[in-house]
Amino acid sequence: MVVEAAERRVGTTTFAILVALSVSHLLNDTIQSLIAAVYPVLKESYRLSFTQVGLITLAFQCTASLLQPLVGQYTDRRPQPFSLVLGMGVSLVGLLLLSVAGQFPAILLAAALVGVGSAVFHPEASRMARTASGGRHGLAQSLFRVGGNGGSALGPLLAAFVVVPWGQRSLAWFSVAAVAAMLILFRVGMWYRDHLAERAARKTAASASASVSPVSPRRVAFAIGILLCLIFSKYFYLASLSSYYTLYLIDRFGIGVADAQLRLFVFLGAVAAGTVLGGPVGDRFGFKAVIWGSILGVLPFTLALPYVGLTWTTMLTVPIGLILASAFSAIMVYAQELMPSRVGMVAGLFFGFAFGMGGAGAAILGWLADQTSIGFVYRVCAFLPLIGLLTAFLPNLRRPACA
C-alpha cells in the first residue's frame, strides 16, 4: 500500500509543503535580517567602526558559509527530517543573546549562533522543497526563496518601527517568530519522514538513472566554478546594499535612521518580488537564459546608482533588486541538475558560499569605507555585474517546459 501511495504522488507538486517551507524561510530570514537591520542602532550605541560592523556580518555569515556544505553533504547520506527544528532553536538562542548583548564580543557570538541556525536550515529545507516540487524544480526553489527574501525585507521595516523606537532589547520580542517556525517545521519534518519511508519502498533503476549528470565530471567541475564566480558577483554587490545602504543614505543625504530603513525595505521588497521570477521562467525557457538576464541586466542600474540623488537612488534599487534576485533560484537549480545525486551538498555549497561572500564582502567593504568613503565603495561595486560574462562558458541544460 505504501508503494502504491507513493506511485500516485510521483510528479505531483505538494504546494502545502512548499508554502510551509516558504513561510518558515520567511520567519528564519526575518530573524537573521534583524542583525543587519539594527546596525545603525548598534553602531551608535557602541560607537562601532565600519570595520566592526562588517565583522558582525562576517561572524554570522562565516559560520553559515563553513557549515552549510558540511550539513548538506551529511544529509545527502543521512536525511534528518527534524533537523530544521533544531536549527531554528539555535537561531532563537542567538536572537535572545543579541537582545541583551552589551559588549562587542557578545554581539559577535550572537550573530554566529544565528549563522549556525541558518546553516542547518537552508540545505535540508532546499532539499525538501525540491522533493515536494513534482519536477517543477525552478518553481519550488522560487517559492522557497521568496519566503527568505520576504523575511529579509521585513527586517529593516521591523527595525524602523520596533527596534529603533524601543531599543536593542525589543529584539527578544521576535522570539515568537522562531517558535512559530519550529512548530511549522515539526509538521514538515513529519511529512518528510513519511516521504523517506515511501522513497525507500519504491527505489528502482529508473530513479537511479535520474541521478546521472547530463555532462562529464570535468565539465561539471568547470561549470560549478563559474556558477560560484557568479554568486560572488551577486552577493558581494548585495552586501554593499544589505549591510551599508542605510549608512550610505544617512551619510550622503543626511536622512534619519527610520527613513533609511524604509528605503532599505523598498530594495529588499524588490528582491523578494524578483525571486518569484527566476524559477518558473527557468523551468520554461532554461536556467542559463535567466542567469544571463539577471546578472548582466542589472549593470546599467548599478553604474548609475552612485551618481544620482536620493529619489533616484531609491528608485534604482527596485530594478536592481528585481533583476539580481531572479539569479539565485536559477543558479541553484542549474547546479542541482549538474549534480542530481548531491542535491543537499549543492544547496549547502551555494547557500554557504553566498553567505560567505556576503560576510567577506561586508568586512572588506567596511574596511574600504573606513579607508576611503562609503560613496567610493558604491562606485567600485557598480562594476561587479560584469563578471556575469562568464555565463557564456556554461553548458546548455535546457529542458522541455513542464506541463
Question: For the residues of 132-154, what is the DSSP string, one character each?
Answer: TTTT-HHHHHHHHHHHHHHHHHH
The span from the CA of 53 to the CA of 39, in Å, is: 7
Kindly state whether residue 351 falls inside one of the protein's structural domains.
yes
Q: What is the CATH number of the domain that holds 239?
A: 1.20.1250.20
Kindly state whether residue 2 falls inside one of the protein's structural domains.
no
pLDDT of 88 reads 92
Question: How confident is the model over 353-371, as a mean pLDDT?
Answer: 79
- Assess whether pLDDT exceeds 60 at residue 263: yes
pLDDT of 206 reads 44
Question: How confident is the model over 81-85, as a mean pLDDT?
Answer: 87
Query: Count of residues for the chain?
Result: 403
pLDDT of 261 reads 82
Cα Rg of the chain, angstroms? 20
Least confident of 29-38, 164-173, 211-220, 240-249: 211-220
Kindly state whether residue 310 falls inside one of the protein's structural domains.
yes
Question: How confident is the model over 293-301, as a mean pLDDT?
Answer: 84
pLDDT of 180 reads 93
Q: For residue 85, give Cα distances in angstroms to 60, 72, 89, 117.
A: 19, 16, 6, 9
Nearest to 336 by CA among 279, 293, 389: 279
What is the number of domains present in the chain?
1
Q: What share of the chain is helix, strand, coil (3-state, %, to 5)?
A: 85, 0, 15
Residue type, 11: G
pLDDT of 200 reads 65
DSSP 3-state of 256: coil
Q: Who has greater pLDDT, 243 or 46?
A: 46
Provide the grid cell at 399.
529542458
pLDDT of 258 reads 81
Q: Who has greater pLDDT, 210 or 173?
A: 173
Kindly state whether residue 5 falls inside one of the protein's structural domains.
no
pLDDT of 8 reads 40
Please provide the distance, in angstroms rounded to a whole number, between the alpha carbons at the two ends of the chain: 28
Q: Convert the pLDDT of each residue in 107-157 to its tens digit.
A: 999 999 988 888 888 888 878 888 887 777 777 777 887 787 778 777 777
The span from the CA of 221 to the CA of 393, in Å, is: 12
Q: What is the DSSP letter of 400?
A: P
Residue % of the chain over a pLDDT of 90: 17
Question: How confident is the model over 162-176, as a mean pLDDT?
Answer: 85
Mean pLDDT of the chain: 80
Half-sphere exposure of 143 (CA within 13 A, CB side): 23
Q: Who has greater pLDDT, 180 or 70?
A: 180
pLDDT of 318 reads 93
Please report which confidence band the pLDDT of residue 12 belongs to, taking 50, 70 and 90 as the band edges: low
Kindly state whether residue 3 falls inside one of the protein's structural domains.
no
Q: Who has greater pLDDT, 78 or 248?
A: 248
Q: Convert the pLDDT of each residue in 229-240 to its tens digit.
A: 888 888 888 878
- Assess whether pLDDT exceeds 90 at residue 303: yes
- Assess whether pLDDT exceeds 80 at residue 297: yes
Chain centroid offset of residue 365 CA: 19
Question: How confident is the model over 31-54, as a mean pLDDT?
Answer: 81
Kindly state whether residue 222 falls inside one of the protein's structural domains.
yes
- Assess whether pLDDT exceeds 50 at residue 176: yes
pTM score above 0.75: no
pLDDT of 398 reads 52
Q: Convert the pLDDT of each residue in 333-353 to its tens digit.
A: 788 788 876 776 777 777 777
Per the structure, the complete domain to which residue 330 belongs is given by 14-201+210-393
Least confident of 202-216, 253-267, 379-393: 202-216
